[in-house]
Amino acid sequence: MSLPRATQLLPGLALCLAVAGAAYAGAEVLHLVFGAASVEPLVLAILAGIGVRSVWGIRASQERGIEFGAKTLLEVAIVLLGATINLAAIGGAGVTVIAVVLAIVVGSILTGFAIGRLMGLSPRLSLLIACGNSICGNSAIVAVAPVIDARKDEVAAALAFTAVLGIAIVVGLPLAQAWLGLSIPQYGAMAGLTVYAVPQVLAAAAPGGLVAVQAGTLVKLLRVLMLGPVILTIGLLERRRSGAPASRSAVLLPWFIVGFVILATVRSLGFIPDSLIGIPPMLASGLTVVAMAGLGLSVDLRAIAAAGGRVIAAASLSLAALLGASYLAILTLLPHAFG
């Protein structure tokens, strides 16, 4: 990138950074007030960005930097997320557990997509909601969005309404623990199969004690590991739909998907020293918040409001289907694995 072009990005990037900083500050305040189930900086960044654009507007000189923040920084963050994946952890889970988690994720994506389409949502928005519910909430949504060329308002709607449900399940699952009829390890597995983010899984499983937390963390890790294969599959299908020759599909995969897989492999082979293992996730988290600020700054609030009711209904029904399938799977398919 030439220096003149980089200079043109500065006004928009500076605004993205300012919004991201405000989001981090707001999230810290909410965390102090409400605890672990508070709103993530990622969600606050996109809401704050939408607010800034709606109230003050965006200057033409800021557009290019905002676009760079929302797209390129997000792609870099997705690559860095590969360093959070340790493929070696799969071996300790057992074939049955892995198969059940895989079936739940795939079935939930297909069901969620169908529900979204029945609600009249676009194919892209339906897929974003389905992947967010099925894998890891916000991270899955922002990872899938570039692969399917989702519009900014679609990403914003999926993130905003899925975030609300994410908080609801963290609060509601511990309250339902008594009448679910699950053992402590089974309750932990239930949290791992249904709660979105890893920190939220820990918060939801904590009332069950250390054993529940361990079971929930293992199952959640398996769900997160599905993100790479899901992105690869969606990328290949999207290329085929757009008319790319099948023999060239792998070459035409977006660079950040290839980078994600490479970094996950490097991490799994032990080539990243333990002293550095926390750096890529930290950078990915920060870049994602800045990217979501850019996304919010690019979004027309009216487009989100128009889809609001249908998005809430689709996300809620998709989550209900995931909860039901996970509960039945733990009771019938995994009675001994989490007995």
Query: What's this model's pTM, rounded to 2 decimal places?
Result: 0.70
User: For residues 310 and 283, what is the distance between their CA atoms, to the nearest angstrom?
Assistant: 34
Exposed (0-12), middle (13-18) or buried (19+): which is 288, by Cβ within 10 Å?
buried
284-319 per-position pLDDT tens digit? 889 988 988 888 888 766 666 666 788 888 989 999
Hey, what's the torsion of the CAs at 172, 39, 221, 103, to 10 degrees?
60
- Spell out the domain ranges in the chain: 7-332
Average pLDDT over residues 180-194: 88
User: For residues 82 and 284, what is the distance between their CA atoms, to the nearest angstrom?
Assistant: 10
Q: How confident is the model at residue 98 (pLDDT cuts 50, 70, 90)?
A: confident
Q: Where are any strands of DSSP class E within the chain? A: none
User: For residues 279 and 68, what is the distance between their CA atoms, to the nearest angstrom?
Assistant: 23
Residue 115, pLDDT score: 96
User: For residues 136 and 141, what is the distance between their CA atoms, to the nearest angstrom?
Assistant: 8
Q: How many other β-carbons are positioned within 10 Å of the β-carbon of residue 161?
A: 23
SS (H, E, C) 233-270: HHHHHHHHHCCCCHHHCCCCCCHHHHHHHHHHHHHHCC
Task: Give DSSP secondary structure letters for 84-124.
Answer: G--GGGGGGT-HHHHHHHHHHHHHHHHHHHHHHHHTT--HH
Tokens describing residue 114: 């169908």
Residue 244, pLDDT score: 54
263-290 per-position pLDDT tens digit? 888 888 888 888 888 898 889 889 988 9
**Which amino acid is located at 115 in the chain?**
I
Q: Is residue 67 scored above 90 in pLDDT?
A: no
User: For residues 199 and 202, what is the distance between their CA atoms, to the nearest angstrom?
Assistant: 5
Bigger pLDDT: 40 vs 280 = 280
Average pLDDT over residues 215-223: 83
Residue 301, pLDDT score: 67
Residue 268, pLDDT score: 83
Between 14-18, 156-160, 255-259, the lowest mean confidence (pLDDT) is in 255-259
Q: Rounded to 5 degrees, what angle do the CA atoms 311, 296, 126 make?
A: 25
